[in-house]
Structure 1
């Protein structure tokens, strides 16, 4: 906790009137909107990255035994696979995974929203399934699929010495492509629905996005659901969205 002495020694900003504060905030809002537009443009550029076909049959160990990379998609079109450090060479083992990777796992939002956009999030480590299962129970990460790396996957995809998110796409013939990769400080912002979708090939799949021709899109907001009612039509919510869109002229 920051001490009172440290707080007292801080060089603090000016204290102003409500009117002056509002003016300062309006000036910052211009920069905030610029940042949002730049972030959207970056995500649009990611959707136009070339793809790399994955030609090896990578094998992982799951709770039910051996599985292939294709199985990690769980039948969905996209896979975000995070390499988390959890094995005997990692500080905290076996009670804990890497401190930074654990902080990231604590940030992961409810996975049903990702699933609704045809996207699976999974973790992979060198630790055994027995240890991973114990770790997940202890840390409250039961909902995150977590696999054991058994071959050269981590080396081949740049995550043998450092953490990172690899993003994959499964096409209509079950061919797998690597579409994006993010690591280092890029990992620290991950965890929210939007942060994951914005690094995928399909993006958020909403009608306002700048995506290549033919990419799937649905009306913004209408696909949103409470996490326990996905798969059910909600006409009342759709009508509320339509009314809001007219009012806001979106």
Structure 2
């Protein structure tokens, strides 16, 4: 006879359905208030002023340098994710947080239906980072912004992740919003789904009851995305037999 595996992980108290429903309904009041507050913040975001950029600043894509205006791909708006990059480092040492964020944005037809182009602006060389893109099997538009970062990220720390919103009017380009660090969580669905579970994200910064598992410590605050020394998403690519050798891309092009 099989012995039951003992599981001593902490759990919430067990109650009857009526008590459970009452507690959930009390939380729902706060959830609805949070939703309305998010709507109000979004409304304020739509009313921010904007700053003009040089539309002829270049980024590098598969066909070579193109202008920022070209990166809109004919649409009215552009959302650009600025991918952190460690030039000359192997795939296993590339940014865990950016691998997590960028990998979520694969189905972009819904954005495009609202006249929005999504693209990644990598902060490293095109050839090397494109080799990583191919290893990961991604499909979103990918550019290198190396060489133009001081203009594109004026006043910000180059080398940090950013999500930046642009709009164009004819051949003029304007920056309307940007966010960084936990602000880029908007790109991810996994964290939001984890937040619906009893143990949440299982990260040390969370306010959880005593005994809740929180083993996901992080080198980068709030971005623990590594197992056995690699960003988690890489392991399925390795298992599928893809090469993670980026050396063929290390030709120094930007």
| TM bin (shorter chain) | 0.5 to 0.7
Contact 1:95 1:135 in 2 (8 A): no
Distance across 2 between alignment mates of 1:78 and 1:16: 50
Greater RCO structure (CA 8 Å; 6+ sep): 2
Contact 1:83 1:154 in 2 (8 A): no
- Aligned counterpart, 1:103: 100
Choose from 116, 140, 143 the match for 1:144.
140
Distance across 1 between alignment mates of 2:184 and 2:115: 21
Question: Could you list the per-position Cα deviations for residues 102-121 of structure 1 after superposition, in whole angstroms to 9, with x for gaps in the alignment?
Answer: 01012214100100010011
1:28-107 equivalence runs, <5 A:
28-55=27-54, 57-88=56-87, 93-94=90-91, 97-107=94-104
Question: Could you list the per-position Cα deviations for residues 40-87 of structure 1 after superposition, in whole angstroms to 9, with x for gaps in the alignment?
Answer: 111000000001111363111110011010011000000111110124
Question: Could you list the per-position Cα deviations for residues 3-38 of structure 1 after superposition, in whole angstroms to 9, with x for gaps in the alignment?
Answer: x98x6263x422110111111111111111111101
- Aligned counterpart, 1:24: 23
**Structure 1 stretch 144-153 or stretch 178-187: which is displaced more?**
144-153
Distance across 2 between alignment mates of 1:101 and 1:144: 14
Pairwise CA distance, 1:157: 5.9
Question: Could you list the per-position Cα deviations for residues 142-200 of structure 1 after superposition, in whole angstroms to 9, with x for gaps in the alignment?
Answer: x21111112233542625131111110011x22111100111110123246xx9xxxxx
- Aligned counterpart, 1:248: none
**2:187 partner SS:** coil
Distance across 2 between alignment mates of 1:94 and 1:153: 28
Q: Identify unmatched segments of 5+ residues in structure 1.
A: 196-250
Question: Could you list the per-position Cα deviations for residues 209-228 of structure 1 after superposition, in whole angstroms to 9, with x for gaps in the alignment?
Answer: xxxxxxxxxxxxxxxxxxxx
- Number of residue pairs the alignment of both structures matches: 184
Q: Identify unmatched segments of 5+ residues in structure 2.
A: 193-254
Query: What is the RMSD of the two structures over their aligned residues, measured on CA atoms?
Result: 2.3
Give the TM-score normalised by the residue count of structure 1: 0.67
Distance across 1 between alignment mates of 2:164 and 2:97: 17
- Aligned counterpart, 2:127: 130
